[in-house]
C-alpha cells in the first residue's frame, strides 16, 4: 500500500503540483507497446494495453482460470491507496504492461504501480489552474500506452505523454481553451501509431471534434468537427518549419442544412467518451453528445451530427457514415455511448455489425460497414418520449413529450414542464457494456429513472453553462434503480437481469470463465454467471465501485483489478436519486485480486 510520509504530506499541500518520482521502474528500460500489441490486445492475456481490452471495445478476456467454479476463492492480492484529500469519482480503467499497472485518478493524476507487489513506482499530479469547468465531477477514465509512453488527458484540456519508466513528461499539447468550457476526461485511443482523442464540454457550447496526433510526438495530423458547418483540417509537416501547416480538409456536412443561423458555431456534439476502432473495416467509431443548448426550441432541425454514431477514416478524419439516434435532442439524451464491433450471426448469415446501448433507452445494432440500421429495441422498462424506431427511416417515433418553449410574459419564464423517461443521465450513461462472443450476449449496465424537465431562456456566453433547461431526476421504482441486463443482439431480448438499489455507474468485464464483473455504488465488486445471471461472488471495497474492471495473467495466475471511489455525475446531478444515496462514502484506491492457493 502507498505509505504516508512528511514529504508526501507537503507535496499534497502544493495544490495542482506536477510531480514525478521514480522507483523500481527506473532501474531498467522495459520494452514498449507496439502497434501489434494494441491490435492484438483482445487476444493476448499477459497485458491490457488499451481501453476496452482491445480496440473494438468488447471488454472480453479469454482467461478462464477464474471461473464460475473457482471464483469463490478470489481474494485480494493487494490494494493501493490514491492518498491525500483528492477523493471524488474514480471512473478509470487501468492498463497493464511489463508487470506495471498504470491507472488515472481524480484531479488529473496518474499512478504507476508494481503489479506484483502494489508498490508505487511513480506518481504524476497535473498542475491544474483555477477556473476549470468540468461538467460531471473531476474524473478521468484512463490512459493509452504506446512505445514507452503513457498518454492521458487532463481537466484543463491538455494531452500529456509521460515516460513509462520514470513518469517524466515527454510532451504536452493543448487541446483547447479550458476557459471556454473545454476539458478532457476520456481515455485516448491508439490507432496505427496515432493517438485519437475527442473533447468534453458540451454543456458550455463548445464544438465537438475527433483529432489524430502522432503518438510519439503529439504533432497534430487531422481534426474533424462533429457539428455541421464547421471546417475540418489536416496538418502537413513542411521541411524547415517547426509547426505543421494547417490545411482545410472539408466542411463537416452542409452549412445550415440542419442548424438555423449561426447556432452551429456553439452546437455541442462533444466527443467526451472516446472511441473504438475496427481493424477489419479500418474505421474509427465515435459517439457524439447533445446539441447545445438543451432548449431545442432555439435550434429547429435535426442538428447533425449531434446525438449520433460516426464512422471516420483514420487516415483523413473524413466521416464515412453517420447514424443519428435522437434527432433534435430535447432531453440531453446524447449519443456518445460506445459502439462495439462484433459479428452478428442471424438467419444463417454473419454480418459485420456493431452495437450501442444509447442513453435514449434503445439498444441499436448497425451494419458497421455502412451504418444501416439492423434493429433497435428498448433495454429499459419505460420510454415516455417514443413508441419505437421506424425501421424504414431509422428515426424514433416520438410521442410529442417535449418540454414547452420558455414564455416571455411574467416573472417566471419557464416553459411547460414534462416528466421525461429516461432522465438525461440515460438508460445507460458513460459506463461501458461488454460483449462475450462465447455466450453471444451483451451485458448492459442500465438505470431506471425519469425527470421533471422544463426549458428556460438562454444565450451563449463563453465559459458559462449553455443549457437553457432545468430538471429534477426521480427514480421510477422503490426497490431498484440500477439493472445489469444480458441482451441477445439477434432479438433484443433481455435474457437475464440483476437489479441494484443504487444506480449502476461502473463498467463491465466478461471472461472465458463464464463470468461477468461489475461494481456497485454500495462498494461491491460482483461476479455473475454469464449465462444465467446468478451472483457467484462479491467483495466489499470500502467505497463505491464506478470504475472499469480488467483481468490479465501474470506468473501463471489470473488477476482481476478495479478502482474504487464513489463519485461522478449522480451525486452532483441526481436530484431525488442523489438524496436516496447520500450516505455513500467517497474513496480512492485500486483493488487487485487473485485466486487463493489452497
Catalytic residues: 332
DSSP structure class, residue 393: T
Q: What angle do CA 210, 562, 91 make, to 5 degrees?
A: 40
Residue written as grid cell 415516455 = 384
Q: Are the CB atoms for 32 and 164 separated by under 8 Å?
A: yes
The sign of the torsion formed by the CA atoms of 307, 309, 312, 314 equals: positive
All three cell numbers of 393: 427511416
All three cell numbers of 13: 499541500
Which string of DSSP letters, residue by residue, matches 168-231? Answer: -EEEEEE-S-GGGT-B--SPPEEETTEEEE--B-GGGT-B-EEEEEETTT--EEEEEESSTTPE
> CA–CA separation, 129 vs 302, rounded Å?
37
* Residue 597 Cα distances to 74, 75, 226, 272, 557, angstroms: 10, 10, 52, 42, 10
Q: Cis bond leading into 518, ω under 30°?
A: no
Residues 6+ apart with CB under 8 A from 420: 331, 384, 385, 401, 403, 450, 451, 453
All three cell numbers of 456: 428556460
Produce one character per residue of 400-427: b if its CB has 16 or more CB atoms within 10 Å, e if not. Answer: ebbbeebeeeeeeebbebbebbbbbbbb
> CA–CA separation, 355 vs 241, rounded Å?
44
Residues 6+ apart with CB under 8 A from 240: none
Q: Are the CB atoms for 167 and 153 separated by under 8 Å?
A: no
Strand partners, 344: 351
Greatest alpha-carbon span in the chain: 75
Q: Are the CB atoms for 156 and 132 separated by under 8 Å?
A: yes
Strand partners, 286: 275, 310
Which string of DSSP letters, residue by residue, matches 403-439? Answer: PPPPPSSSS------EEESS-TT-SS-SS--EEETTT
Which residue in 187, 195, 245, 189 sits closest to 217, CA to CA? Answer: 195
Residues in the chain: 598
Percentages of the chain per state (helix, strand, coil), in multiples of 5: 5, 40, 55
Q: Are the CB atoms for 546 and 506 separated by under 8 Å?
A: yes
All three cell numbers of 493: 431480448
Task: Give the strand pairing for 60-61 and 508-511.
Answer: parallel
Amino acid at each position: 500500500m502507498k505509505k504516508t510520509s512528511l514529504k508526501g504530506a507537503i507535496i499534497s499541500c502544493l495544490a495542482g503540483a506536477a510531480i514525478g518520482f521514480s522507483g523500481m521502474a527506473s532501474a531498467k528500460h522495459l520494452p514498449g507497446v507496439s502497434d501489434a500489441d494494441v491490435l492484438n490486445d483482445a487476444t493476448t492475456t499477459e497485458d491490457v494495453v488499451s481501453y476496452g481490452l482491445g480496440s473494438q471495445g468488447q471488454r472480453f478476456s479469454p482467461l478462464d482460470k477464474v471461473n464460475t467454479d473457482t471464483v469463490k476463492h478470489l481474494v485480494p492480492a493487494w490494494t493501493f491507496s490514491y492518498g491525500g484529500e483528492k477523493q471524488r469519482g474514480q471512473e478509470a480503467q487501468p492498463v497493464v504492461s511489463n508487470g506495471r499497472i498504470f491507472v488515472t485518478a481524480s484531479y488529473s493524476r496518474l499512478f504507476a504501480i508494481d503489479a506484483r507487489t502494489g508498490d508505487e513506482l511513480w506518481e504524476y499530479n497535473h498542475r491544474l489552474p483555477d477556473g476549470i469547468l468540468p461538467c460531471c465531477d473531476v474524473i478521468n477514465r484512463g490512459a493509452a500506452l504506446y512505445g514507452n509512453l503513457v498518454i492521458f488527458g487532463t481537466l484543463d484540456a491538455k494531452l500529456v505523454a509521460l515516460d513509462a519508466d520514470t513518469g517524466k513528461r515527454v510532451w504536452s499539447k493543448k487541446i483547447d481553451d479550458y476557459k471556454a468550457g473545454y476539458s478532457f476526461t476520456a481515455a485516448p485511443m491508439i490507432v496505427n501509431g496515432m493517438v485519437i482523442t475527442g473533447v468534453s464540454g458540451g454543456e458550455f457550447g463548445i464544438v465537438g471534434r475527433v483529432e489524430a496526433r502522432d503518438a510519439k510526438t503529439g504533432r497534430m495530423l487531422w481534426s474533424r468537427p462533429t457539428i455541421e458547418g464547421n471546417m475540418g483540417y489536416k496538418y502537413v509537416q513542411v521541411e524547415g518549419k517547426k509547426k505543421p501547416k494547417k490545411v482545410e480538409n472539408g466542411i463537416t456536412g452542409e452549412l445550415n442544412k440542419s442548424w438555423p443561423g449561426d447556432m452551429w458555431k456553439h452546437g455541442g456534439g462533444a466527443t467526451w467518451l472516446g472511441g473504438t476502432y475496427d481493424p477489419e473495416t479500418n474505421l474509427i467509431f465515435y459517439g457524439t453528445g447533445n446539441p447545445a443548448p438543451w432548449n431545442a426550441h432555439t435550434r429547429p432541425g435535426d442538428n447533425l451530427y449531434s446525438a449520433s454514431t460516426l464512422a471516420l477514416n483514420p487516415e483523413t478524419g473524413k466521416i464515412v457514415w453517420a447514424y443519428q439516434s435522437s434527432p433534435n435532442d430535447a432531453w440531453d439524451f446524447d449519443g456518445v455511448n460506445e459502439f462495439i464491433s462484433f459479428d452478428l450471426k442471424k438467419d444463417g448469415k454473419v454480418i459485420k455489425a456493431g452495437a450501442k446501448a444509447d442513453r435514449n433507452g434503445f439498444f441499436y445494432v448497425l451494419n458497421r460497414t455502412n451504418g444501416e440500421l439492423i434493429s433497435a429495441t428498448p433495454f429499459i422498462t419505460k420510454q415516455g418520449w417514443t413508441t419505437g424506431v421506424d425501421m424504414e427511416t431509422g428515426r424514433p417515433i416520438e410521442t410529442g413529450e417535449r418540454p414547452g418553449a420558455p414564455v416571455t410574459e411574467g416573472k417566471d419564464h419557464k416553459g411547460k414542464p414534462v416528466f421525461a423517461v429516461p432522465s438525461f443521465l440515460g438508460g445507460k450513461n458513460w459506463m461501458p457494456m461488454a460483449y462475450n462472443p462465447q455466450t453471444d450476449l451483451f451485458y448492459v449496465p442500465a438505470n431506471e429513472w425519469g425527470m421533471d424537465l422544463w426549458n428556460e431562456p438562454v444565450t451563449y456566453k463563453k465559459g458559462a453553462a449553455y443549457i437553457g433547461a432545468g430538471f429534477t431526476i426521480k427514480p421510477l421504482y422503490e426497490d431498484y434503480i440500477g439493472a445489469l441486463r444480458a441482451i441477445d443482439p439477434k432479438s433484443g431480448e433481455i435474457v437475464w437481469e440483476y437489479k441494484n438499489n443504487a444506480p449502476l455507474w461502473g463498467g463491465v468485464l466478461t471472461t472465458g470463465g463464464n463470468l461477468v464483473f461489475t461494481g456497485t455504488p454500495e462498494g461491491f465488486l460482483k461476479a455473475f454467471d454469464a449465462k444465467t445471471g446468478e451472483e457467484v461472488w462479491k467483495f466489499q471495497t470500502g467505497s463505491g465501485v464506478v470504475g472499469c474492471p480488467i483481468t490479465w495473467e501474470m506468473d501463471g495466475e489470473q488477476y482481476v483489478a478495479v478502482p474504487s471511489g464513489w463519485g461522478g455525475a449522480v451525486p452532483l446531478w441526481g436530484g431525488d436519486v442523489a438524496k436516496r444515496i447520500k450516505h455513500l462514502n467517497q474513496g480512492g484506491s485500486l483493488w487487485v485480486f487473485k485466486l487463493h492457493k489452497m
